[in-house]
Amino acid sequence: MHYHLIGICGTAMASLAGMLQARGHRVTGSDENVYPPMSTMLESLGILIMQGYSAAHLDPAPDCVVVGNALSRGNPEIEATLNRRLLYRSQAETVKEEFIRGRRSLVVAGTHGKTTTTSIAAWVAECGGLNPGFLVGGVVQNFESSFRVTDSDYFIIEGDEYDTAYFDKGPKFMHYLPETAIVANVEFDHADIYKDLDAVKTAFRRLLNLVPGEGRLVAGWDSAVVREVVAEMGARLHTRLETFGTSADATWQARDIDYTSGAL
């Protein structure tokens, strides 16, 4: 299958390009901002990057066009995709259909600490012999990569609350089919797309509503707003709840914490 990624040098899009190639697909892409480190990574993988945006980049027509979330109407390739009635998806939807559907998905969400927590979770799963696939918003030092594609039943992904695409203004994490969701903390952020804290809380409640009854929500209990989100769900929370933190009423508690020279 031939995927063409518009905005391929974005962090998430470049990782997706590498994942699709690892799956055996043909991958091309275009971007106006072609520079390291993403351009270097893509070039090392032998993925063709076309400079700038042009309808000609869609000749011959790809099987699927993936639209980066920084792009909008008026982009020549988006306009050509729509006019030619080509199949198109967002980055998040492509990840869902190619790498998550049918697997056991762990989605790590929260305002802060997502990349670190996702990286740790991937390494713990690796040490446990689960051979997980993963997608993280940064390079995981132990794997020296931001992504991995495996034949495992397990996939671990950083769940971003930012919007998905110009045609899908919902959070990216709504696409990731969580069997288990970790929500470490919730604060007001991304003022360009969220009006206030209540709007952010609504987004996280919607994520919690996706976790199946046989799944699990792992909630950061030191966050007052996470507690509010869970309480506001009430009887609508149809999954198992476990909590963690330093709080005395957390399911999993950190105790005897020793800070030495600024380290934990």
Q: Residue 92, SS3? A: helix
Architecture of domain 100-253: 3-Layer(aba) Sandwich (3.40)
* Residue 40: predicted pLDDT: 85
- Angle at alpha carbon of residue 195, lines to 194 and 199, rounded to 5°: 65
- Domain ranges within the chain, ordered by starting residue: 2-86, 100-253
Asked if 264 contacts 257 with a C-beta cutoff of 8 angstroms, the reply is yes
Give every CB contact of residue 156 below 8 A, 6+ residues apart in sequence: 105, 106, 108, 118, 121, 122, 125, 132, 133, 134, 135
Provide the pairing of β-strand 240-245 with 216-220.
Answer: parallel
* Residue 49: predicted pLDDT: 94
Gap between the Cα atoms of 181 and 186, Å rounded: 14
Locate tokens 């007052």: which residue?
Answer: 224
Whole-prediction pTM = 0.94
Asked if 41 contacts 21 with a C-beta cutoff of 8 angstroms, the reply is no
* Residue 261: predicted pLDDT: 66
Q: Other CB atoms closer than 10 Å to residue 249's CB: what's the count? A: 9
* Residue 211: predicted pLDDT: 98
Gap between the Cα atoms of 160 and 194, Å rounded: 13
264 residues of the chain, pLDDT tens digit each = 999 999 999 999 999 999 999 999 999 999 998 878 888 889 889 999 999 999 999 999 999 999 999 999 999 999 999 999 999 999 999 999 999 999 999 999 999 999 999 999 999 999 999 999 999 999 999 999 999 999 999 999 999 999 999 999 999 999 999 999 999 999 999 999 999 999 999 999 999 999 999 999 999 999 999 999 999 999 999 999 999 999 999 999 999 988 876 655
Q: Is the domain defined by 2-86 classed in CATH 3.40.50.720?
A: yes
* Residue 34: predicted pLDDT: 85
Task: Please give the structure tokens belonging to residue 13.
Answer: 């899009």
Locate tokens 């699709």: which residue?
Answer: 20
* Residue 263: predicted pLDDT: 59
